[in-house]
A and B are shown apart, each in its own frame.
Chain A
Amino acid sequence: MVLTTAAVVNTLLISAMYIVAALGFAFLMNVMGFINFSHGAIYMLAGYICYQLAVVYGLNLWLSFSLSVIIISASGLFLERFCFRYATGNLDRMIIITIAIILILENSINVTVGAYVRSLPSFAPGILKFLTFSFATDKLLTLVICGVLLAVIIGFTRRTKYGLQMQAVSQNLEAAALQGINVHRISAIACAMACGMAAVAGCLMGALFNLSAFMGDNMLVKALELVILGGIGSVGGILFAGLLIGAIDAVVPLFSSGAVGQVIGLAIIIIILLFRPQGFFGREFE
C-alpha cells in the first residue's frame, strides 16, 4: 500500500514536471513551427539562476524563483528576435542554432559553476500527514504549482485575445497575418511563455532533485517524447502522454534498473509512433 501511494505520487510528480516542460516546448513548435532543441539547456539555466540568487546572494527563495522565471522569459524574447526567427521552417538551421545555444549555455555553467552537482533548498520542507499516508510537502506543493500553471496556460490560450491570436497563428500563419495579427509579436509572446515554463520546471526540479550542467539533455528528450507522442497542437495529448511516460518512468524502476525502464519506454513510444506518426491526438506537422 505504501509502495502504491509512493508510485502514484511519484508518477504524478514526474508527469507534472514533464508536462510543464513539454508544454513550453509544444508552444514554440505550434506557434512558430520551431523545434527548440535548446529547451533543456534553458531549463537548466533557470535552475542555476535560481540557485545563484537564492543560495549565493541569499535572496528569499520565492523571490529568486520569480526573478529566475522573469529573467528567462525576457531572454526568450531576445532568442526569438535574434535567433529563432531566422530558422523557422528549416530543420537544418534549427539544429545549428539550438546546438550552438546548448553548447554556450551548458559550457558556461560547466566552466563557471563547475561540474559539481548542486541542489536548491526545498520550497516547503516538512511532511503532511493525511489519514495513514504521509506526503512530502514540497512534492505536493510542486503538484499544486504545476496544476495551477496548466490551468492558467489553458485559460490564456482559450479565453484571452493573445491566446486566441496564438491559436489562429498556429492553425494558419498566412491567414492570421492577413487578418491583421502581428505574427512576430505572437511568436515573441509564445517564446517568452515557453522559456518561462521551462524556467518553472527547472527551478522546481532543482529543488526536488539535483542541478547539474547536463540535466537539460534528459528533459529535452522527455519533452520531445511527450510532444510527439501526444500529438502536435493538442494540450490534452500532452497531458495524456505525460501521465503515460511519467508512469513508465516512475513505476518501472521499482521493479528493474533504470536503463531497462528507459529501453521499455522508448520501445513503446517507437512502436506507437510507427502506427500513429501524428501521435495520439495530433495533426500532421509539416
Chain B
Amino acid sequence: MFIIDRQLAGADKKLARLSTYGGIIIVLALLPLLVRSPYVVYVFTTTFIYIVATVSLRTVTISGQYPLAHGAFMGIGAYTSAVTAKLLGWPVGLTIPLGGVAAMLIGALIAYPFARLRAFYYAMVSLFFGIGVIQVIFVLTKWTSGSGGLVDIPHLLPSTSRVPYYYFFLGFMVICLFALWRFEYSRIGLSLKAIAQSHLVASSVGINEVRYRVLALSVGCFFVGLAGAGYAHYNFTLSPTSFDFLASMWLFIYALIGGLGSFGGPIVGAALLIIVPELLSGLKQFIPFISAAILLIIFYVLHDGLISLPRVIGTWYKKGKPGTADITEAS
C-alpha cells in the first residue's frame, strides 16, 4: 500500500513536471505571436542557441572536468560550417551537422592527451587550448577572414523574417536538451558522476576513466559545435572575438549563475544573463554592469546558483526571523 502510494506520488510529480515543461514550451511557441518586436525575437533565438551551448558544457563538467575552452569549440563548429557553406557552396543542412562533427572530432583528439590532467591543471591547459584555437583562426585568414570577420554566410532558412528562425531554434533547443538529458541520466552519466566524485574509486569498480572522460568531452563538443554552426547561419557574420577566452568564461559563468549542480541550472542561468541585460538596458555600454550585479548577487547571497532560489526562500520562510534561526540550529 505504502509503495503504491509512493509510486502514485511519483507519477503525480512526474506529470506535474512534464506539464510544467510543456507549458513553458507552449508559452515560448506563442511568444512571437504575442510580442511583435523583432528585437525580442532575436534575443530569444540567441538565448536558445546559448542554452544548448551552456547545457553541453554541463555535460562535460559532470565528469569532473573544467572545460574553459568551450567557447573555442563553439567557434570550431561555427567556422567549419560557415566556411564549407560559403566557400565550397555545400548546402547548409549538411554543413551544420558537419560543424558539430568537426568540434566533436577535435574534442575527442585533445581529450586523450588531456585526460592525464585533472581539476585545476585541466582547466588551465584547456584555457590555453581555447586561446590557441582563436589564434589559429587568425592565422588561417585566407579562409576565415581573420579579425575582419566572416560576412555573407549563407542563410539557414529562405526567409527575411526572424520568426521562422525562432521556431527552428526552439525545436533545435528542445531536441538537444532532451538528448543531453537522456545522456546525463543514462548509465554513462552515472559513471561520469562517479568519476567526478572520486576517480580512484570509480576506476576500482571497473569504470574506464579515460574513455568516459573522452566520451563526455566529445558529446559536449558535438552539441556546442552544433550550436555554434546554428549561430553562424543565424547571424550571417562571424568574428573570432565571439569565441575567445572571455566567451568561454561566459559560458562557464552562465552555468555557474544558474547552478552547476542541476540540469536546469545552466538553462536558467543562460536565459537570465542573456535576456535580462538585453531587455532592461537601452544603452549597450551598461549591459556589463547589470551582468556584474547579477554575478555579485550570486556570489554573496545565492551560493548554489539561481536554481536554489526557491529552496533558499523556503528555508528563510521556515526559519522565520533571521535572529531566531541560529538558536534553533544550535539547540
> A residues touching B (Cβ–Cβ < 8 Å)?
35, 37, 83, 86-87, 91-93, 95-97, 99-100, 103-104, 106-107, 110-111, 217, 221, 224-225, 228, 257, 259-260, 262-263, 266-267, 269-270, 273-274, 277-278, 285-286
B299: which of A97, A103, A263 is its contact (CB, 8 Å)? A97
- Bound form: Cα–Cα A104–B125 in Å: 27
B292 is an interface residue with CB less than 8 A from chain A? yes
- Bound form: Cα–Cα A228–B249 in Å: 18
B16 is an interface residue with CB less than 8 A from chain A? no
Question: Which among B52-60, B126-134, B186-194, B195-203 touches the partner chain?
Answer: B126-134
Q: Which 9 A-B pairs have the closest CB atoms?
A: A259-B138, A100-B295, A266-B132, A103-B292, A107-B288, A262-B135, A277-B121, A103-B288, A100-B292
> B residues touching A (Cβ–Cβ < 8 Å)?
66, 113-114, 116-117, 119-121, 123-125, 127-129, 131-132, 135-136, 138-139, 146, 245-246, 249-250, 252-253, 256-257, 260, 285-286, 288-289, 291-292, 295-296, 298-300, 303
- A103 adjacent to B289 (CB under 8 Å): yes
B295: which of A96, A267, A273 is its contact (CB, 8 Å)? A96
Chain B residue nearest to A285 (CB atoms) is B120
- B285 adjacent to A110 (CB under 8 Å): yes
* A104 in contact with B298 given A221-B131, A260-B139 (CB within 8 Å): no
Can you sample 6 A-B contacts with CB below 8 Å? A95-B256, A96-B256, A100-B299, A104-B288, A266-B128, A270-B125
- A257 adjacent to B288 (CB under 8 Å): no
Chain A residue nearest to B292 (CB atoms) is A103
- Bound form: Cα–Cα A91–B250 in Å: 14
* A96 in contact with B132 given A103-B289, A111-B286 (CB within 8 Å): no
- A104 adjacent to B292 (CB under 8 Å): yes
- A259 adjacent to B124 (CB under 8 Å): no
* A91 in contact with B120 given A266-B128, A273-B125 (CB within 8 Å): yes
CB distance from B286 to the nearest CB of A (A): 7
A269: which of B114, B119, B128, B285 is its contact (CB, 8 Å)? B128
- Bound form: Cα–Cα A35–B138 in Å: 28
B289: which of A97, A104, A263, A278 is its contact (CB, 8 Å)? A104
CB distance from A83 to the nearest CB of B (A): 8
B125: which of A217, A259, A262, A274 is its contact (CB, 8 Å)? A274
Name the A residues within 8 Å of B253 (CB-CB).
Answer: 95-96, 99
Name the A residues within 8 Å of B116 (CB-CB).
Answer: 274, 277
CB distance from B90 to the nearest CB of A (A): 27
Name the B residues within 8 Å of A260 (CB-CB).
Answer: 139
* A95 in contact with B249 given A104-B289, A274-B125 (CB within 8 Å): yes
- A100 adjacent to B296 (CB under 8 Å): yes
- Bound form: Cα–Cα A97–B298 in Å: 9
CB distance from B114 to the nearest CB of A (A): 7
* A270 in contact with B129 given A107-B285, A217-B245, A263-B139 (CB within 8 Å): yes
Name the B residues within 8 Å of A83 (CB-CB).
Answer: 299
Name the B residues within 8 Å of A286 (CB-CB).
Answer: 120
- A91 adjacent to B296 (CB under 8 Å): no
Chain B residue nearest to A274 (CB atoms) is B113
Known: A99-B295, A107-B289. 6 other contacts (CB 8 A): A96-B257, A97-B299, A100-B299, A224-B128, A259-B135, A285-B121
Name the B residues within 8 Å of A99 (CB-CB).
Answer: 249-250, 253, 295
CB distance from B327 to the nearest CB of A (A): 25
- Bound form: Cα–Cα A228–B126 in Å: 12
CB distance from B262 to the nearest CB of A (A): 14
Most chain B CB inside 10 Å of its own CB: which residue of A99, A110, A285, A286: A99
A224: which of B127, B286, B303 is its contact (CB, 8 Å)? B127
- Bound form: Cα–Cα A107–B123 in Å: 26
- B121 adjacent to A273 (CB under 8 Å): yes
- B135 adjacent to A95 (CB under 8 Å): no
Name the A residues within 8 Å of B291 (CB-CB).
Answer: 103
CB distance from A276 to the nearest CB of B (A): 10
- B296 adjacent to A228 (CB under 8 Å): no
- Bound form: Cα–Cα A97–B256 in Å: 11
CB distance from B214 to the nearest CB of A (A): 15
- A217 adjacent to B298 (CB under 8 Å): no
- B299 adjacent to A86 (CB under 8 Å): yes
Name the A residues within 8 Å of B292 (CB-CB).
Answer: 100, 103-104, 107
CB distance from A215 to the nearest CB of B (A): 14
CB distance from B219 to the nearest CB of A (A): 22
* A273 in contact with B117 given A92-B260, A107-B289 (CB within 8 Å): yes
Name the A residues within 8 Å of B257 (CB-CB).
Answer: 96
- Bound form: Cα–Cα A91–B121 in Å: 12
- Bound form: Cα–Cα A284–B261 in Å: 27
- B132 adjacent to A267 (CB under 8 Å): yes
* A263 in contact with B136 given A99-B295, A270-B125, A274-B113 (CB within 8 Å): yes
